[in-house]
Structure 1
Amino acid sequence: MATLNVFSQTLHPTISSFCCFSNSNNSKFHFFSNSLSSHFSKSGSGSSWMQSSSPAASIEHKKGPVYSVFPSTPAQVSSVQDLFEFICSGPLVEKIGLTQEKVAESIDKWLSYGRQLCRLFQLNELFLTEPQKVRLYHYYIPVFLWCESEIVQHQSKFKDEEDIPPLVIGFSAPQGCGKTTLVFALDYLFQMIGRKSATISIDDFYLTAEGQNKLREANQGNALLEFRGNAGSHDLAFSVETLTALTKMSKEGTKMKLPRYDKSAFGGRGDRADPSTWPEIEGPLTVVLFEGWMLGFKPLPVDAVTSVDPQLETVNKSLEAYYDAWDKYIDSWIVIKIKDPNCVFQWRLQAEIAMREAGNPGMSDDEVRDFVSRYLPAYNAYLPTLYSQGPNGSDPQHLLSIEIDEKRNPILGV
């Protein structure tokens, strides 16, 4: 492993690809390879950290093609110290237990992971924008390293001859904050280092269309249960069956299909996708990445929820069964925090506007407002407890809390 002497030495370009970083003086550095991919692309523009043409711009629990970017213009070469200093300035470095010395010792890993993510998201490695640099080196890679540390601790609890069940990491984060793209990136990095992983979402456990109709009929007049989303709209028995099976994927050759949900079915009301379309995974799994906007929510006293919205009483009652169906399966937690739940509306609105401007069907501003309004009561009721006490049944020693800003970038490791 290459080690960086950050005080007196420049690391020479020996990495088997290239990467670029801009420092405050707008200088660049890169590492060249003798064998570059034949696939080229250019980085996108606009306010988003990631170009709209990226395969992760519309995640569907699958990996898209990966590309490398060939430099179209030369860049000034500077010390890898620029990268080192940028990494160490990130808000999560100290939180995940890294020191400057540890970052220096593992700088080759940071370079490798950054290069892989650039390929995944089709980013121009020579001219990463500031938002792209922040997203990769202040967010995705530190979270990945934390997950790796959790895996090592998990595996150390078992003897050599024992089958090791996969570590289940839960990602609790509001809608639109980028958790699905984060999970997509982590899943890809796990595959790159040879770890078998599986991704699952609480969305995959929604009731079938028939089940949704029954729920709506049984709760007429309750806008929070008119559509899928809140507690009560999930098939908990199905989720228990699925998560139990996933935790048993510890042997070579074991296989199972991961359920998926089709949100476009029945005019957007949704239905469980045909099992023939579900992706198949093969064991032994090392890690399961389980994400959802309400993971870790726990029921509160009735007065506490009805004071937010009387319609939450039924939702709150349904939430009592969710610990046994979801949370008890989770070994480690990542909680992505926001200061203002109204960001959810802004993020959703941005996405729908972008879809409409691209000529695709998208909700109107009023439709977005109506859609988000069905989730805001739950956010206002349950997020304060989640943020102050941690997820339902979580161990503080295996919890990473990250506060993000309105641009979905980490600002604190809390």
Structure 2
Amino acid sequence: MTPSVERVAAAAGAWLDQAQRPMVLGLCGSQGSGKSTLANALKAQLEKDGRRAAILSLDDLYLGRSARAALARGVHPLFATRGVPGTHDAARGIALLDAIRAGQPVILPRFDKARDEPAPQGDEVPGRIDLLIFEGWCVGARAQDDAALACPVNALERDEDPDGIWRGHVNALLAGPYADLFARIDRLALLAAPGFAVVRGWRGQQEDELRARVSRGEAQGTQVMDEAGLDRFVQHYERLTRHILAEMPGCADLVLNLAPDRSLKEKP
């Protein structure tokens, strides 16, 4: 196991020893931080230890194109791009976590990013499990103070959200349905990037890997962003990522501080 997996597996094992019902572990990490890889490795380790685990990604709760287009028309054009709070089916997530915590069988949804639509079939969890790993870039995030929304944090907000409508709506949702969703999390772990500056590079590495898969014919129908498109895309995530890195270490149950190469730092 890598040091990150060892740390989370040890903590999860201790928490599960005290649990009286299925637990939900929130795993938060910026784009490219390795949270999906960690979630899969943690699941494998828990199952090796005799626990039953499943994974739900926040990405798998994304709304499809038509629903986001309606948000774009009715609230703000930036909601056409999936990612921020408002572009997920939070009510479905709440129902799923409630069912998991009650030990009920569920179908975990999956989202087809190539089609930009929910997949027609999900993954069946036929019975009671010990742990659901709920991973995502803003899992567990809290709303900002209204005053923090006044100044744009980047060119996207300055030029495309000058009145703060988009970021204000995102923040209101964080204080409402997303707060209800994240309240179902029993324990929260944070993969803490050393700062937002590295996130663009990490996300660029993901796009390079996708480009290589497309060239090999392994990801047909997938769009690969150019540098300008990627710069703009990452700006959708900047405000909340910066807020999470500043605020979440004080409330998470476990913080894994990452170096720029994603290795685990011994000290913050």
TM-score by length of 2: 0.86
Q: CA deviation at 1:324?
A: 4.2
Aligned to 1:76: none
Q: Select the residue among 135, 140, 146 that pairs with 2:11.
A: 146
Q: CA deviation at 1:149?
A: 0.9
Q: Does 1:243 align with 2:97?
A: yes
Aligned to 2:230: 368
Determine which structure has the larger helix proportion and give its number. Answer: 2
Instruction: Give the distance between the partners of 1:146 and 1:302, measured in 2 at CA.
Output: 35
Q: Does 1:218 align with 2:74?
A: yes
Q: CA deviation at 1:386?
A: 2.0
- Alignment length (residue pairs): 250
Letter in 2 for 1:375: Y
Q: Select the residue among 184, 198, 204 that pairs with 1:329.
A: 184
Letter in 1 for 2:68: Q
CA contact (8 A) 1:297 1:383 kept: no
Instruction: Give the distance between the partners of 1:188 and 1:325, measured in 2 at CA.
Output: 29
Q: CA deviation at 1:301?
A: 2.0
CA RMSD of aligned residues (A): 1.9
CA contact (8 A) 2:63 2:87 kept: yes
Q: CA deviation at 1:218?
A: 1.4
Structure 1 residue ranges (4+ consecutive) displaced by more than 6 angstroms after TM superposition: none
User: In 2 relative to 1, CA 218–412 (structure 1 residues): closer, same or farther, beyond 3 Å?
Assistant: farther
2:68 is paired with a residue of what secondary structure? helix
User: In 2 relative to 1, CA 357–288 (structure 1 residues): closer, same or farther, beyond 3 Å?
Assistant: closer
CA contact (8 A) 1:237 1:325 kept: no
Aligned to 1:290: 134
Aligned to 1:306: 150
Q: Which stretches in structure 1 are left out of the alignment for 5+ residues?
A: 1-113, 115-135, 155-163, 392-398
Equivalences for residues 109-258 of structure 1 within 5 A: 114=1, 136=2, 138-154=3-19, 164-221=20-77, 223=78, 225-249=79-103, 255-258=105-108
Q: Does 1:262 align with 2:112?
A: yes
CA contact (8 A) 1:199 1:290 kept: yes
Letter in 2 for 1:264: A
Q: CA deviation at 1:413?
A: 5.5
Aligned to 2:122: 278
CA contact (8 A) 1:165 1:247 kept: yes
Q: CA deviation at 1:295?
A: 1.5
Instruction: Give the distance between the partners of 1:385 and 1:189, measured in 2 at CA.
Output: 29
User: In 2 relative to 1, CA 255–220 (structure 1 residues): closer, same or farther, beyond 3 Å?
Assistant: closer
Letter in 2 for 1:235: D
Letter in 1 for 2:251: G
Instruction: Give the distance between the partners of 2:251 and 2:138, measured in 1 at CA.
Output: 12
CA contact (8 A) 1:345 1:372 kept: yes
User: In 2 relative to 1, CA 373–259 (structure 1 residues): closer, same or farther, beyond 3 Å?
Assistant: same
Instruction: Give the distance between the partners of 2:146 and 2:244, measured in 1 at CA.
Output: 12
2:194 is paired with a residue of what secondary structure? coil
Letter in 2 for 1:186: L
Q: CA deviation at 1:352?
A: 1.8
Equivalences for residues 326-405 of structure 1 within 5 A: 326-357=181-212, 359-360=215-216, 362-387=224-249, 389-391=250-252, 399-405=253-259
Instruction: Give the distance between the partners of 1:173 and 1:406, measured in 2 at CA.
Output: 13
User: In 2 relative to 1, CA 412–305 (structure 1 residues): closer, same or farther, beyond 3 Å?
Assistant: farther
Equivalences for residues 62-73 of structure 1 within 5 A: none
Letter in 2 for 1:312: R
Q: CA deviation at 1:382?
A: 4.2
1:402 is paired with a residue of what secondary structure? strand
**Per chain length, whose mean CA-contact separation is higher, i.e. which structure has more relative contact order (CA < 8 Å, sep 6+)?**
2
User: In 2 relative to 1, CA 343–280 (structure 1 residues): closer, same or farther, beyond 3 Å?
Assistant: same
Q: CA deviation at 1:177?
A: 0.3
Instruction: Give the distance between the partners of 1:324 and 1:384, measured in 2 at CA.
Output: 18
2:189 is paired with a residue of what secondary structure? strand
CA displacement, residues 309-359 of structure 1 (integer Å, 9 cap, x when unaligned): 434222111211145432211111111111211211101112222333452
CA contact (8 A) 1:306 1:313 kept: no
CA contact (8 A) 1:231 1:315 kept: yes
Instruction: Give the distance between the partners of 1:357 and 1:273, measured in 2 at CA.
Output: 24
Q: CA deviation at 1:208?
A: 2.8
Q: Does 1:316 align with 2:177?
A: no
Identity across matched positions, percent: 26
Instruction: Give the distance between the partners of 2:76 and 2:4, measured in 1 at CA.
Output: 43
Instruction: Give the distance between the partners of 2:267 and 2:12, measured in 1 at CA.
Output: 15
Over alpha carbons, which structure has the higher Rg? Answer: 1
CA displacement, residues 162-181 of structure 1 (integer Å, 9 cap, x when unaligned): xx421111111111100000
Instruction: Give the distance between the partners of 1:411 and 1:322, measured in 2 at CA.
Output: 34
Letter in 1 for 2:17: V
Q: Which stretches in structure 2 are left out of the alignment for 5+ residues?
A: 158-163, 217-221
